[in-house]
Structure 1
């Protein structure tokens, strides 16, 4: 249908909607049920069966299955069935892990979906764009992405970038009043806007005429490909490492098989043992492990109000050295609060911050009642009346539940009145607003014409103190109208300066009583011969949690830089309240920054902690200068013009509440609460995710090394097989499953935010991880073969007993070792019960081990026999040696160094 040819009234009738009231919620739900969600069809998800079958496509698993099938044909039914069951259980675990990761990523897509403003039941509300329906009235402004196809109703300087649809890079000018006839391509339909296009300037309102696949974008949806899964640098490194480790494991396995055959072991038995060992030892799942760990970490980040859009940013978070943060709403509450008022030469202070509706008034240290201070009461009253902000109270909970709308400055004046008991609703019973002269940037004032209940009319004006004062002839002094002489003007200027020195933004309030029958015909006439009442000083207070977060970032070696468009005095005052600026720290103003080259900025950027009066265009220069100095930069932003700097930063961070769609799409991390503390939490979580991946790898590879060495030692020593194939697979299932996964959700170590940022060039095996893997793996293999030798020497005729002891020792050594993997230092540095998931995982694994050892029906299948108390003590003693011996040596070294340090200090 050619919607661009219809008038607004015709579309209203056709779609049964209203441009003044919008749709009702009931009607919107009815249309949503009929037409479905407003989104493009996505590529079909792989079915659960396909995902499950994919778990068995690995070459070595297929070889194992074929080998077990042959053993079944040869009559080894119990072994064949048991091995296939273990492989099946492993497949189920892999399937569940993969589906969990998929659900995590799906949740991210939903959380980061764009929002739109829609008129429902006469009220503008914000909803996810997928909930928009045909007939909805929506509005948008610069930086928003259009959520559906719309016929424009009203536009103001609206231009839309439609390259996603038309390929035209120059924004198209839009005009809702235009009526078109004939045939026009989408790029020429100037009274239409389309889903997926971007508002580059101005604002507009329109009627939704197409959603989902019934949009222009839907028509070309077949050209849109789903975004490819993004691999992180760590995943790529591990994938390459995995190939090397697979080759090494295969060579060692082949060596074990070859030596076994040479020594006279049965070829079939050694082949099956070799394949089982390869399946257990080859870390083919390392990249998948990282994906799962990242997905679990991302879910934790979501709970901490940080939405990850790009997985590589999780790794990069741990490397961040500088956070460039907006001030308003991120470091501060974005809730302007009146804290000081001045009138008639007197000052009052108001308690309560943010949008709290309660507070007390003080003159010095003396509390006062507003009713007993007429000048103060009139100042607050007129601040409420000359005001377009509103407070909407809930029907049930009264003042405990309310919604505030309007300009932050006007909200601050409104709440100051509420604290004095001067609510707008109550005042409107005594004062009627007759006319309004809106604020504009040239006049820097706003005025209203009010009539009292006794028919007295006033002009009430608020605005910038210097401008308002220039329009005043009189001043309210000692509750009387007095001439505004130079002395009293100086008193006003001094009050403004005092507030300004404390970074308070000042608003002046004045009034003029009208003569009976006097008519106002212009703003100049209204805003002349005024009487000055007083000043209200306000500030956007720092977030209480921001100070602590900045301190923790400093401890973590991360510098916090404030970048704001605010006045330099305000910015520096807030920064000092937050303890951001050290004694030698500098503050740089935008005009100075504009005159500097990137190279000149590099020379000073390390000493600058506040950039004030900065435009979004300057942010890119700051990012480049910091990066050229070797920093890993996290940059926050919310506007369209912030997008280049967000994209150029190592970690682009956008605002979930106040940010535009463009900023969000350019970012790798979205703060759902716009809070700096969330950045700190995300960095902590990012560091912990990386450390958990290292724990995962450390445990997995050390266990695999131990398993291979047990068999290799046995072959080199010409011993019987210490482990049969089904035991090898059972070890892999019991130890590499639940305990390994539990490490992925381990909590952060106490010092995770007290370490310097990780270098971007750091390898996965740095900080001694490679040595820990080899040394622990070697010891696990050594104690296992030792336990086997002891048991075999005691009763060579009872090979099953020796194999059971070796099997149990290997499992228990790995389960004890998993607790050692929780700390970079040793097992004694962390509470073993600190990760309850790990505790239960280990208990479950021990229970599974006990079942196959002591449950008689399973003993023939797993080639086990019951162990007595002495044998169990042998198993536990040998299994504990790798972890506790090395932990003890670590403690000894630490105590030795501490002792040396104490001796050294005593000589001074």
Structure 2
């Protein structure tokens, strides 16, 4: 990185002063020898590589979990005791989970690499007085770089000369329109207003110019973004936080219980090997091995549903995070709006016209007083539209049912408005005066002898002597009335262009300065909000989710767009954010709905301020400037169509249609995923708890173990998975978007659901332990008694499944009708347990034995009792006015 300092910010100096500070010549740049010395001294023009863990370290870290430690120790002990099947199954589960985590983390590591790749290009620099093409990595401070349309700017430049130069800075500043550049010195100015600077990673869209390199590598503005991305912390999702907390509690409980039972058994004189087997069985039984698999599968099904709703999830836990979201920070351009400039109003001949239709498709009509009009009967309107078509370098193309723009978005809007009136071709052009920021207008000379001009209102009015009237005659020009109309359009956040014409000298084939003009009218345009955006914003507000718009546009434009989509509240600018003290910022951000002219660092600070108030943040973005905030947010959402690769790699989710409505749909899916995960955990935990209790009871009683480790594994890897999978495809509840967001501070399982889990655990303990001893006292073999215990667990879990399809109301037959996988899972479990019970090979492998009809009657009685008691508790606990309290904060 070049660390040389200058006496003042380059944009505040003249380019001659900047050249002096940089030790270079504004016309010749630096010599090859000096460039080589500076390159050796300060290093190449690249972003520094971030230090990353190697693949081996990242894979080993996947085992860094308390539950995994317990499972690994259990596998070692089980293998040492000769139970190799049990040990292999435990290790298999652990390794599969580690591989999945490793793959996900490897994909997330590419964000900084994509950001660094953006700055690697080829540049034209003046070396030894001659232009030379060289890799951008070799640029040094003081180099004179030449720019042309289509170039990616390779470093931060202080412009020394420009010719109609426009730069697309949207990826860095959020400014939606290309920015006209000038070499003139400026005063204090924020990044988006530094018209005499060109920044690394942005693009030249029009014209040409030259600039001196003022910063390279990490010293550039994109280098600042790189540092912010590196410093932003990856935030755990609410689900991963809750699962981690749950895992720690379960681990401590399992270890304490296993140690207690082992110690009690040994003190009572039982063999140490038997007690080790019992302790391993208790650990394996109490740990929900099926939980990671079902959680992953449930999230994967959620991802598949979201793809159908135009959202691609890069990290599985992000699906659930959306369900916890309390604030959505969204970009404006392309997300809430179409990112297609559209003419909506015309003022010509003393009349106002409305233009219908949106986007670049030439479908719509021109109306006056609510009625369609034909331009042929409105001369001023006709001439105004023709001027916009003729004085224009853009064109629209049709690709099937999709229309694309080639050229400037503002000029494209003029072409489309003319096409809606039936004009698709202008008279042949002879000459052009191109637009410049100094000139503030564009003019074209045509074969029919007319000159057309378009530009800023002030410039066109100053060049005009009269106005074309409604009947086609020339009228006096009332500049004040026209200006008032323009201001009225401006208050609606519409951009206004003025159009005029003049008659040329019949012998002229060149255009220098146009003669005095006849004012034709105003065309007012904007980037229209998406029709579905307002509906999606209302749906989010109904769901208790705040929506905050963050844009690089000016405050007035941002406010007007916000009001159109239902975002009413305070507006803060980037300057306001910079001036706000850290202690006051969270409260100010909380009450603000629209943020305008915001820099990358301020976006990151804004997200951090909201997180300081315990919000779960979904942040959308498409540019390089959005990457730090996307990474810092609880879930980063990048735009798939127009987003940069940096934004996509930093995000957790990508929208394929760049539409805010897809975020609202993703939130709905996320809430459904969380509901299904809660239902699964409430259903699965009683089996793990009661398995541990049964083993503890047997050891304390001093008898045989009612269930062996291999049989515990059978239950966890068959019954739990077969019956748990239907939860992954359980349909969403109808009122899911009428609930408030979950409080992230609440535990994964509420107190009421904990009581239900304990009730079913006690039923399983009593049923399994009681029948185990009952059958032995009635001449059943030990193998038969253990087979009964396994089937008590399996059939009771089957009955309890129907309790958990809804955590508040009965859903027996309705649950099967709305989710066919429930019935399929039930039939599959019955078949599997029949194989376990009656197939000789399974009897030998799992130490099971065939059962008679009487045993099945007893098993069914325990299952029916569990179902009935849970339904009674649901009915007693359900408050009548507001359902689904278990899933609400």
Counterpart check, 1:558 vs 2:554: no
1:462 aligned onto 2:476: no
Q: 2: CA distance between counterparts of 1:597 and 1:657?
A: 37
Does 1:58 find its partner at 2:35? no
In structure 1, what is the equivalent of residue 28 of structure 2? none
Distance in 1 of aligned mates of 2:660 and 2:590: 21
Q: Secondary structure at the match of 2:815?
A: coil
Report the TM-score when normalising by structure 1.
0.70
Cα distance between partner residues in 2 of 1:408 and 1:382: 17
- The SS at the match of 2:200 is strand
Which of 804, 815, 840 aligns to 2:787? It is 804
Contact 1:153–1:204 (8 Å) recurs in 2: no
CA contact (8 A) 1:336 1:411 kept: yes
1:650–1:66 Cα change, 3 Å: closer
Unaligned runs of at least 5 residues, structure 1: 1-39, 70-82, 115-128, 130-142, 156-161, 179-185, 188-196, 207-224, 900-908
Partners in 2 of 1:108 and 1:834 — Cα distance? 37
Q: What whole-Å deviation, never above 9, does each CA across 1:40-75 have from its counterpart, x for those lacking one?
A: 999779999xx99x9998221232233345xxxxxx
> Which of 454, 459, 465 in structure 2 is aligned with 1:473?
465
1:438 aligned partner: 434
1:482 to 471, 474, 490: 474
The CA deviation at 1:514 is 0.6
1-structure distance, mates of 2:71, 2:572: 60
Instruction: Say if 2:861 is the partner of 1:877.
Output: yes
Q: SS at 2:878's partner residue? A: helix
CA offset at residue 106 of structure 1?
A: 6.3
Task: Give 2:504's match in structure 1, choosing from 496, 502, 514.
Answer: 514
Residue 561 of structure 1 contacts residue 609 of structure 1 at CA under 8 Å; is this kept in 2? yes
**Where does residue 578 of structure 1 map in the other structure?**
565
User: Does the 8 Å CA contact 1:310/1:668 hold for their aligned counterparts?
Assistant: yes
| CA-CA distance at 1:176 after TM superposition | 5.2
CA offsets 1:539-565 (integer angstroms, 9 cap, x no match): 322212222221222123221123334
Q: 1:864–1:617: structure 2 CA closer, same or farther, 3 Å change rule? A: closer
CA apart distance, 1:482: 0.4
What does 1:26-41 correspond to in 2, within 5 Å? none
Measured after TM superposition, the shift of residue 516 of structure 1 is 0.9
Q: Distance in 2 between matches of 1:113 and 1:449?
A: 50
Deviation track 1:422-456 (CA, whole Å, cap 9, x = no partner) reads 23xxx15xx222222222334332222222xxxx2
Using a 3 Å threshold, how does the CA distance of structure 1 residues 471 and 838 change in structure 2: closer, same or farther? farther
Structure 1 distance, partners of 2:283, 2:313, is 36
Q: How many residues align?
A: 755
Distance 1:232 1:622, change over 3 A: closer
User: Which residue of the partner structure matches residue 150 of structure 1?
Assistant: 122
Which residue of the partner structure matches residue 13 of structure 2? none
What is the alpha-carbon distance in structure 2 between the residues aligned to residue 673 and residue 632 of structure 1?
24
- Per-residue deviation at 1:386? 1.8
Distance 1:236 1:367 in 2: 59
Change (3 A) 1:782 1:436: farther
Are residues 482 and 593 of structure 1, via their aligned partners in 2, closer, same or farther at CA, if it must alter by over 3 Å?
farther
Provide the residue aligned with 1:784 in structure 2.
Answer: 768
Q: What are the within-5 Å matches in structure 2 for residues 520-539 of structure 1?
A: 520=510, 522=512, 525-526=513-514, 528-539=515-526
State the partner residue of 1:347.
352
Provide closer, same or farther for how the CA distance between residues 751 and 91 of structure 1 changes in structure 2, counting only shifts above 3 A: farther
- The CA distance in 1 between the partners of 2:626 and 2:613, in whole Å, is 21
Match of 2:833 among 849, 855, 859: 849
Shift of 1:690: 4.8
Matches within 5 A, 1:203-218: 203=203
Post-superposition shift, 1:329? Answer: 1.6
> Match of 2:522, SS?
strand
Matched residue, 1:735: 719
Give the secondary structure class of the aligned counterpart of 1:831. helix
**Displacement after TM superposition at 1:358 (Å):** 1.6
Cα drift, residue 707 of structure 1 = 1.1
CA 1:97–1:496 in structure 2 vs 1: closer, same or farther (change >3 Å)?
A: same
Quote the Cα distance in structure 1 between the aligned partners of 2:581 and 2:262: 67
Other-structure match for 2:405: 404
1:606, 1:43 → 2: CA distance? 40
In the other structure, the counterpart of 1:118 is: none
1:212-611 aligned within 5 A: 235=240, 238=243, 242=247, 245-253=250-258, 272=277, 274-283=279-288, 304-306=309-311, 317-394=322-399, 397=400, 400-423=401-424, 427=425, 431-451=427-447, 456-486=448-478, 489=479, 491-518=481-508, 520=510, 522=512, 525-526=513-514, 528-581=515-568, 585-588=569-572, 597=581, 604-611=588-595
Contact 1:749 1:823 in 2 (8 A): no
**Alignment partners' CA distance in 2, 1:144 and 1:415:** 39
Residues 56, 91 of structure 1: 8 Å contact kept: no
Q: Higher relative contact order by CA 8 Å / sep ≥ 6: 1 or 2? A: 2
* Contact 2:463–2:517 (CA under 8 A) maintained in structure 1: yes
Following TM superposition, by how much is the alpha carbon of 1:705 offset from its aligned partner in structure 2, in angstroms? 0.6
**Matches of 2:471 and 2:117, distance apart in 1:** 53
Q: Which whole-Å deviations, capped at 9, do the CAs of 1:143-187 have from their partners, x for residues lacking one?
A: 9943756354899xxxxxx9x989x9xx84654569xxxxxxx99
After superposition, the Cα gap between the structure-2 partners of 1:465 and 1:148, relative to the gap in structure 1 and judged at 3 Å, is closer
Give the superposition deviation at 1:723.
2.8
Structure 1 residues 777 and 672 mapped into 2: Cα distance closer, same or farther (>3 Å)?
A: same
CA separation of 1:658 and 1:263: change in aligned 2, threshold 3 A: same
Compute the displacement of 1:810 (Å): 0.6
Structure 1 distance, partners of 2:108, 2:817, is 31
Instruction: Give the Cα–Cα distance (whole angstroms) in 1 for the partners of residues 95 and 795 of structure 2.
Output: 26
Q: Residues 402 and 670 of structure 1: is their aligned pair in 2 closer, same or farther, counting only changes over 3 Å?
A: closer
Does structure 2 retain, via aligned residues, the 8 Å contact 1:593–1:601?
yes
Q: 1:605 to 1:501 in 2, by over 3 A?
A: same
TM-score (norm 2): 0.71
Within 1, Cα distance between the matches of 2:605 and 2:252? 47
Determine the C-alpha separation between the residues in 2 that align with 1:747 and 1:101.
27
CA gap 1:348/1:467 in 2 versus in 1, 3 angstroms: same
Supply the RMSD in Å over aligned alpha carbons.
Answer: 5.1
**Is the contact between residue 343 and residue 534 of structure 1 (CA under 8 Å) also seen in structure 2?**
yes
Change (3 A) 1:796 1:895: farther
Q: CA deviation at 1:273?
A: 5.0
| Corresponding residue number in structure 1 for 2:664 | 680
Cα deviation 1:837-872 (Å, max 9, x = unaligned): 565444433321121123345345444444455643
CA 1:571–1:687 in structure 2 vs 1: closer, same or farther (change >3 Å)?
same
SS at match of 1:441: coil
Query: Counterpart in 2 of 1:27?
Result: none
8 Å contact kept, 2:808–2:878: no
Separation in 2 of the partners of 1:496 and 1:806?
83
**Are the counterparts in 2 of residues 598 and 624 from structure 1 also a CA contact under 8 Å?**
no
State how far apart, in whole Å, the 2-side matches of 1:245 and 1:616 are.
42
SS of equivalent residue, structure 1 residue 200? coil
SS of the residue 1:58 aligns to: helix
How far apart, in 2, do the equivalents of 1:866 and 1:483 lie? 105
Cα distance change, pair 629–580 in 1 and its aligned pair in 2 (3 A): same
Q: Aligned in 2, Cα 1:94/1:372: closer, same or farther, shift over 3 Å?
A: farther
Q: Distance in 2 between matches of 1:339 and 1:872?
A: 75
For the 8 Å contact 2:328–2:547, the answer to whether it is kept is yes
Answer whether contact 1:555 1:754 (CA < 8 A) is retained: yes
Contact 1:315 1:690 in 2 (8 A): yes
Instruction: Decide whether the 8 Å contact of 1:329 with 1:674 is kept in 2.
Output: yes
The structural deviation recorded for 1:778 is: 2.6
1:234-253 deviations in Å (ceiling 9; x for gaps): 65775575455345335534
1:322 touches 1:559 (CA, 8 Å); kept in 2? yes
